[in-house]
Every structure is written in structure tokens, then in C-alpha cells.
Amino acid sequence: MQAGARRQIEEVTSGGSYLSQSDLRLHFGLGSATRIDRIKVRWPSGVLDQAGDVAADQFLVFEEGLGIVEKSGSARSWPKD
């Protein structure tokens, strides 16, 4: 993910332990940026999906080979612990 001069990399790790599951969502802190210049998703199969000029503060769902398939809500409404 790149927003201005800020670049970040995250990796989804599934699984956990017996009767549990890790959260498959990734969260990127963008500071004051309001748009994401580029998002790259590299799937285990080697397929690369890319998106650009995406508004910040929302949830995005990527599907392998299709890119963004869903945009929803505001990430600002994410429940706080």
C-alpha cells in the first residue's frame, strides 16, 4: 500500500490454534492522507491485483483475479477495544 511517501506491507496469516481463527482483515494507518495512491495484493498463487486512487477510511474486499469487489462503511466506525 502506498499513500504519498508512506509505504506499508502487511501479510495475512490464517489459522491460530484449536477452535480459534485469526482476523483476516488488514489495517493500514495513513496518518493525514485521505487517498491511497496504490494497493497491491499478491496472492499465494502468484496472481497480482492492483488498485489505485482509492479513498481512505473504508473497508475494501479483494477477490483473487478481480481486484476490489466490495467497498463498505467507514473504518472510523470500527469498534474500539
The model's pLDDT over 26-67, given as tens digits with 9 standing for 90+, comes to 999 998 999 999 999 999 999 999 999 999 999 999 999 999
**DSSP 8-class letter at 80:** P
Residue 76 pLDDT > 90 = no
Number of domains within the chain: 1
Residue 60 placed within a domain: yes
Residue 59 placed within a domain: yes
Confidence at residue 77, expressed as pLDDT on a 0 to 100 scale: 56
Confidence at residue 75, expressed as pLDDT on a 0 to 100 scale: 59
Domain that holds residue 39: 1-9+30-71
Residue 35 placed within a domain: yes
Q: How far is CA 67 from CA 17, 50, 61, 71, in A?
A: 30, 6, 8, 11
Give the Cα separation of 12 and 21 in Å (integer). Answer: 12
Condensed to tens digits (0 to 9), the pLDDT of residues 11-30 reads 988 777 788 777 888 999 99
